[in-house]
Structure 1
Amino acid sequence: MDWNDLRYFLAVARTGSLSAATRELGTSQATIGRRVQALETALGAVLFERLNTGYVLTSAGREIQARAEAAEAAVLAVARGVDRELGQVQGSVRLATGEALASHLIAPRASLFRATYPALRLEFVTGFRAVSLSRHEADLALRLIRPDQGDYIRRKVGVVGFGLYASSASVDAHPALRCDPWSVDFIGWDASMRDVPMTGWIKGQALDRIVATATSMNVQLALARASLGAAILPCFVADSVPDLVRLAGPSDVGILDLWVVAHRDLSRVPRVRAVLDFVGGLCEQESARLRGV
């Protein structure tokens, strides 16, 4: 049996479709389908019901998933143990975080990190898609939501303050916005991003005045600068944009705790520990800017 067949099987089992597994693994649907079929042939069992709505595990499939995940965990544990024994700060570290934190907090200091650890490569995984640390989709994460489950270390490294921002042109055209900022038209999050905390903040104030939505904070910022409406943005990003005006600050909009998270075993690996310390120290140094004070 080929371990890679199990890896493809697990991707389909976890996502429920070939198309979603394709996005996770970065390969074609035909390849994934062929590998899953090869595994079924090797085992002599049907592992999935192929439905119009997706792939559903059979009873045999559920049993194989449990065994495959145990094998996967063992393989990852071996890799972590080798890294720990070597004690070398080299290789690559995958850091999962949001685009704002990656672009406006970490990237400006990345050259200093590189100078300290020239043999270590940072790999950024950005966006709001849930990234599994236990499945090694990333080595650590800097995120605004504290995970409640899993064998992780969780370190609160600060808070991020959010404000309501509109273009200076919009405020000049409607001076009353300075006195009644929540009367503005809003740019919100797409319905698919309902788990993003800021989505609820907008809905609580906007009524029917959401004029555009986006799945990206950068797009919302661009729309606000274009005077389409106001957007709730992290203060450490928007305060540095000269043609945006803060209509309301964190005390009126909201703050979120900022967490750095890593699998407990992996957090002891020197290369991951180096990034953990770098990110934690950076958040401490930038605490006032992140808070939006």
Structure 2
Amino acid sequence: MLPHWDDLRLFLAVARAETLSTAAKTVRKDAATLGRRVARLERDLDVVLFRKSPQGYALTEAGLRLRDQAEAAEAAMRAATEGIGGAGRPEADAGLTGQVRIGAPDGCANYVLPQVCAALGRDHPGLDVQIVALPRVFNLSRREADLAIGVSAPTAGQLTVQRMTDYRLHFAASETYLEQSAPLTTLEDLQRHRVVGYIPDMIFDRELDYLADAGVARVALASNSVAVQLNLLRQGGGVGVVHDFALPFAPGLRRVLRNDLSLSRSFYLIRHQSDTRDARLNRFAELLVKAVRAEVARLEDQI
């Protein structure tokens, strides 16, 4: 028996959330009803889709295959619905519409995406953009976001990866701190300074372990947030590695040790493979990449 689309929709919610309670909030049904619908789908297909345990619902091999097929159907249905909805409406051709959620590390989310997304919103009044700023890797299979920006290119999973732009980082400190502290002319001088950086055991990507390249063993003031680190530096907390594109937002900071440490990293746009059939998301991704590249270049040119 072929499953109904509503059954597949509920199946996808459980597959992405991995628990009935979380999925139930997403689809606005109670967990017991959702559990019965999943059980009915398994009976109709005569296959076990989930391994159930106190920890939640984990997909079986059959479940993984159905998830991929259901996501393809979801993308096709979304594209078809948008096409029908826009037919005969000239204003629909003027721009993108609907909701798009972007997951991004908080440095990009705080200092690049606000300008980019504000401009996209002006150009596309029917577009709703959500920025999720979290210091971790996003799980696109669970639909935590439609697109994610990462600082490294994932090598596993059904994902497509596009390099967006390179960006630069340097040590920086406030003018007040530098005036009141010991000389800082070489990397060895860092031993006599307070260092601001990431909480070591909360670094979620090797590309963010900037201080290891400088041989720094102790982080006196630490946070898992780039924005918090920047504010610690602005308050004279010490010396830390800063994105060059963030410096225009912190005029009291000055780059130091530029000849001793100059880092280059990249932003990558990461999407679920099934979404590459979605014309709307493809267009949004194209505009996003172009705008992020231009905004990083603009900000870095200001310093």
TM-score normalised by structure 1 residue count: 0.75
| Aligned pair partner of 1:48 in 15, 28, 52 | 52
Pair 1:188-2:186 in alignment:
no
Pair 1:233-2:220 in alignment:
no
How much identity, in percent, do the aligned residues show? 19
**What does residue 284 of structure 1 align with?**
293
C-alpha offsets along residues 91-144 of structure 1, whole Å, 9 cap, x if unaligned? Answer: 112222222223322312434322321111112122233223344432223332
- C-alpha distance 262-63 of structure 1, shift in aligned 2 (>3 A): closer
Structural mapping, 1:108-127, within 5 Å: 108-127=115-134
- C-alpha distance 79-195 of structure 1, shift in aligned 2 (>3 A): same
Distance between the aligned counterparts of 1:204 and 1:109, measured in 2?
31
- C-alpha distance 285-192 of structure 1, shift in aligned 2 (>3 A): same
RMSD: 3.7
Give the number of aligned pairs: 279
**What does residue 202 of structure 1 align with?**
211
| Aligned pair partner of 2:230 in 217, 221, 234 | 221
Unaligned runs of 5+ in 1: none
**What does residue 162 of structure 1 align with?**
169
3-state DSSP class of the match of 2:140? Answer: coil
Structural mapping, 1:92-111, within 5 Å: 92-111=99-118
Distance between the aligned counterparts of 1:85 and 1:10, measured in 2?
27
Structural mapping, 1:79-90, within 5 Å: 79-82=77-80, 85-86=83-84, 88=92, 89-90=96-97
Distance between the aligned counterparts of 1:234 and 1:142, measured in 2?
16
Distance between the aligned counterparts of 1:246 and 1:232, measured in 2?
9
| Aligned pair partner of 1:261 in 243, 261, 270 | 270
Unaligned runs of 5+ in 2: 87-91
For residue 245 of structure 1, report the CA deviation from its aligned partner.
1.9
Pair 1:172-2:179 in alignment:
yes
Whether the 8 Å contact between 1:5 and 1:35 is mirrored in structure 2 is no
Specify the code of the residue in structure 1 equivalent to 2:285: L
- C-alpha distance 283-171 of structure 1, shift in aligned 2 (>3 A): same
Distance between the aligned counterparts of 2:133 and 2:71, measured in 1?
24
Distance between the aligned counterparts of 2:14 and 2:283, measured in 1?
34
Whether the 8 Å contact between 1:153 and 1:261 is mirrored in structure 2 is yes
**What does residue 66 of structure 1 align with?**
64
3-state DSSP class of the match of 2:172? Answer: strand
TM-score normalised by structure 2 residue count: 0.73
Pair 1:91-2:89 in alignment:
no
Distance between the aligned counterparts of 2:296 and 2:99, measured in 1?
27
C-alpha offsets along residues 140-185 of structure 1, whole Å, 9 cap, x if unaligned? Answer: 2333222334555433232011111222221101251144453332
C-alpha offsets along residues 236-264 of structure 1, whole Å, 9 cap, x if unaligned? Answer: 10244122121134971411122223345
Whether the 8 Å contact between 2:164 and 2:267 is mirrored in structure 1 is yes
